[in-house]
Amino acid sequence: MWMYVDGKWVKDDQPVVFAQSKGVQYGLGIFEGIRAYWLEDREQLSIFRLEDHITRWVEGAKILNMEFRESMDELVSIIQELLWKNNVRQNIYIRPVALKSVQTIRPLISEVGQQIIIYLTDPVYTIKEGLDVQISTWTRPSPQSFPLHIKLTSHYLTLGLAATEAVQNGYDDALLLNDQGMISEGSGANVFFVKGNELYTPPISDGILAGITRATVMDLALARGLIVKEKSVPRSYVYQFDEAFYTGTAIEIKPIFSIDQRKLGTGHIGPVTKLLKEDYLRLVYRK
């Protein structure tokens, strides 16, 4: 497939990243995960909330002192062209990455220069209907030592350690506590809990990614007359919820069947999760 690399179209089996770059050496990079849906009935691709993803990427890149030479509109056009060039006629995941490219030895963020790469990949996160998760022994760093609301490359070390531990222990994923011992999120998704007609989700200030699916689901829940509370969730409470689910661009809405081997509700998809999942799929498939 074609990918976009700093103004050029390159085949995605070509090496393009310099080993000396700080994106590689120190993990000074920021990326996005965007999903395009193939609308069978209209024979057309629909990119879900593209502008919001690009905004999170470009705005977040400011923390790494990156200024993209491509404007927002150009980035939109590049992504559209990427899909067109690759003749995509199926659901696909779009992965833009910006890596600090300077080759000096210190991890100075003030130095200007980055490499922009945008490529396509398979959007399937898991084929499971619901997940059995574990509270991780790895905790999230404090927001005072790490910007957690955007998709910084190096952030995925903690998430990777937690996910690996969970999988090695026979679970599907890990829920991480934050530095205050409150629930934060999964290794690649935000989390919601349900009690009756109330939804609870950790606030951004608890050190979570400002998820775009999370925001969408909050709107969908409000439209259904559900009550949404952004509130810190202590670990000891999670086992008592009726339902829980993950939200994310790749994972969409995925029920959590159990936490630490305690079944939530019936251990199957609950009515609120089912309703919101159906609403979400209708939205992304423009039905």
H or E element in which residue 84 lies: helix 72-85
Q: How far is Cα 168 from Cα 123, in angstroms, rounded to an integer?
A: 23
Query: Minimum CB separation from ligand PMP for residue 103, in Å?
Result: 28
270 binds ligand PMP (CB under 6 A): no
In the chain, the amino acid numbered 153 is: T
Is beta strand 114-121 parallel, antiparallel or unpaired with respect to 252-259?
Answer: unpaired
Q: Which residues inside 227-256 make contact with ligand PMP, applying CB under 6 A?
A: 247-249
Query: Minimum CB separation from ligand PMP for residue 212, in Å?
Result: 4
60 binds ligand PMP (CB under 6 A): no
In terms of CB distance, is 108 or 157 closer to ligand PMP? Answer: 157
3 state SS of 280: helix
Give the one residue of 29, 33, 207, 270 binding ligand PMP; rule: CB under 6 A.
33
Residues 74-113, mask of contacts with ligand PMP (x by CB under 6 A): ----------------------------------------
Give the one residue of 36, 199, 209, 264 binding ligand PMP; rule: CB under 6 A.
209
140 binds ligand PMP (CB under 6 A): no
CB distance 92 to 37 below 8 Å: no
Q: How far is Cα 191 from Cα 210, in angstroms, rounded to an integer?
A: 11
Q: How far is Cα 214 from Cα 201, in angstroms, rounded to an integer?
A: 9
Query: Minimum CB separation from ligand PMP for residue 22, in Å?
Result: 22
214 binds ligand PMP (CB under 6 A): yes
Q: Give the binding-site size for ligand PMP (rule: CB under 6 A).
A: 14
**Six token digits for residue 191:** 């989390």
Q: How far is Cα 276 from Cα 213, in angstroms, rounded to an integer?
A: 11
184 binds ligand PMP (CB under 6 A): no
CB distance 274 to 212 below 8 Å: no
Q: How far is Cα 216 from Cα 247, in angstroms, rounded to an integer?
A: 9
Give the one residue of 132, 172, 173, 185 binding ligand PMP; rule: CB under 6 A.
185
158 binds ligand PMP (CB under 6 A): no
Overall residue count recorded for the chain in this entry: 287
Among the listed ranges 12-20, 101-109, 206-214, 234-242, the one in contact with ligand PMP (CB under 6 A) is 206-214
Among the listed ranges 73-81, 83-91, 119-127, 181-189, the one in contact with ligand PMP (CB under 6 A) is 181-189
What angle (nearest 5°) sits at the alpha carbon of residue 167, between those of residues 163 and 168? 115
3 state SS of 62: helix
136 binds ligand PMP (CB under 6 A): no
Among the listed ranges 110-118, 125-133, 185-193, 253-261, the one in contact with ligand PMP (CB under 6 A) is 185-193
Closest CA to 148 of 116, 182, 124, 117: 182
- How close are the terminal C-alpha atoms of the chain, in Å? 29
132 binds ligand PMP (CB under 6 A): no
Give the one residue of 23, 96, 123, 188 binding ligand PMP; rule: CB under 6 A.
188
Q: Which residues bind ligand PMP (CB under 6 A)?
A: 33, 159, 185, 188-190, 209, 211-214, 247-249
